[in-house]
Amino acid sequence: MRLAMMATGGVGGYVGAKLAEAGVDVTMMARGAHLEAIRRDGLIVNTPDRRIVARPALATDDPKEVGPVDYVVFAVKLPDTESAAEFIRPMVGAETAVVPFQNGVDAVETLTRVLGPTPVMMGTCYISSNIAAPGEITQTGTFARFVFGEPDGGQSERSRRLREVFQGAGLDAPVPQDVRVDLWRKFAFLSSMSGITAAARAPISVVRGDAVMRETLRRAIAETTAVARALGVALPPDSVEAHMKMVEGLPPDMLASQAHDLLAGKPLELEGLSGAVVRLGKELGVDTPVHQTFHAVLRPYVNGKGTA
């Protein structure tokens, strides 16, 4: 089985390193200094338990050099989804499956528009990791879970085969009842955490320590949850309160990745986070005033126009 990581960032790098270490034929798509470091020294992944040094079968920035593979692990920033989908065309053959592990909920729609419906799967992941230096990934949390299946929420022979390979490499890849539920459960939390920590330029300790901000976060989660239910996603009745309990266990200095990007002057995933909640809410007749506010106040920085 051949797998390609598009691309070898925090998520793709972690998955690719674990697979390559287990002897799977892995191609790592990267560029610039990151690519050169991987070619020279292998990909280093620092986990809380150990240090992995993985050498992929191939590291390249040219998908034509790779050709069709069995699976593409698709893990790029949300604004890059469409261009990255076009980029991987040479790696997508008649039997290729493309599995998105991204922060948003629009991946299936975008990938299908570019590549057609046949190769597209649905996926989501729970991991905190990033590129610490060229050729080096650091996992900053202790959790790493990967959930995937078909766009209708169910499972298939190709998802079974991929899960077998993931689990054989020591990756946590459970069989979900409905992938859509996992996708939207994560998105309800992430879109809201990303919105409030970025808009406030403040860590979670500030948010949960202030009654007004805490209630704003709760309302944001409720809005995304309502959008999911309007789409027919069967989120549990206690979803909002369950997320608020999760907030209590977060490290006090926690900032969502969008807040980190904002403060670093990088482009934001805004349109795929609060922007998607607002857009879908309008289509479905669900009011989303909190996410509309997040979307409005962060728009000046969406292209990475410096820090506030």
Query: Beta 92-100 vs 25-29: how paired, if at all?
Result: unpaired
pLDDT tens across 101-149, in order? 999 999 999 999 999 999 999 999 999 899 999 999 999 888 999 999 9
pLDDT tens across 169-211, in order? 999 999 999 999 999 999 999 999 999 999 999 999 999 999 9
pLDDT at site 76 = 97
pLDDT at site 305 = 78
Query: Beta 136-149 vs 122-133: how paired, if at all?
Result: antiparallel
Asked if 196 and 270 count as a contact pair (C-beta separation under 8 A), the reply is no
- In the three-class reduction of DSSP (H, G, I as helix; E, B as strand; rest coil), residue 156 is classed as coil
Element (H, E) at 132: strand 122-133
Q: What is the mean pLDDT of residues 53-68?
A: 98
Q: State what percent of residues in the chain have pLDDT above 70.
A: 99
Q: At what angle do helices 289-298 and 274-284 cross, to 10 degrees?
A: 140
Q: At what angle do helices 179-200 and 239-248 cross, to 10 degrees?
A: 50
pLDDT at site 306 = 60
The distance of Cα 132 from the centroid of its chain, to the nearest Å, equals 18
Q: What is the mean pLDDT of the chain?
A: 96
pLDDT at 308 over 60: no
pLDDT at site 142 = 84
Long-range contacts at 206-211 (CB < 8 A, ≥ 24 apart): 207/247, 208/247, 208/248
Which residue is listed with tokens 């270490």? 21
In terms of phi and psi (left: phi > 0; alpha: psi -120 to 50; beta: otherwise), the region of 135 is left
Asked if 137 and 41 count as a contact pair (C-beta separation under 8 A), the reply is no
Rg of the chain on CA atoms, in Å: 19
Residue 196's Cβ-count burial label (10 Å; 0-12, 13-18, 19+) is: buried
Asked if 165 and 16 count as a contact pair (C-beta separation under 8 A), the reply is no
Tokens of 265: 């002057």
For the chain, domains (ranges, CATH) are 2-176 (3.40.50.720), 181-301 (1.10.1040.10)
Q: What is the mean pLDDT of residues 12-19?
A: 98
Please give the Cα distance from 85 to 141 (Å, whole number): 29
pLDDT at site 35 = 98
Q: How far apart are the first and last CA of the chain?
A: 47
In this prediction, residue 15 has a pLDDT band, given cuts at 50, 70 and 90, of very high
pLDDT at site 140 = 86
Residues in the chain: 308
Please give the Cα distance from 181 to 101 (Å, whole number): 15
- In the three-class reduction of DSSP (H, G, I as helix; E, B as strand; rest coil), residue 62 is classed as coil
Element (H, E) at 180: helix 179-200
Q: What is the mean pLDDT of residues 277-287?
A: 98
pLDDT tens across 215-257, in order? 999 999 999 999 999 999 999 999 999 999 999 999 899 999 9
Of the candidates 166, 179, 83, 177, the residue with the CA atom closest to the CA atom of residue 123: 179
pLDDT at site 141 = 81
Q: State what percent of residues in the chain have pLDDT above 90.
A: 96
Query: Can you give the pTM of this predicted structure?
Result: 0.94
- How many Cβ atoms from other residues are within 10 Å of residue 152's Cβ? 11
Please give the Cα distance from 97 to 149 (Å, whole number): 11
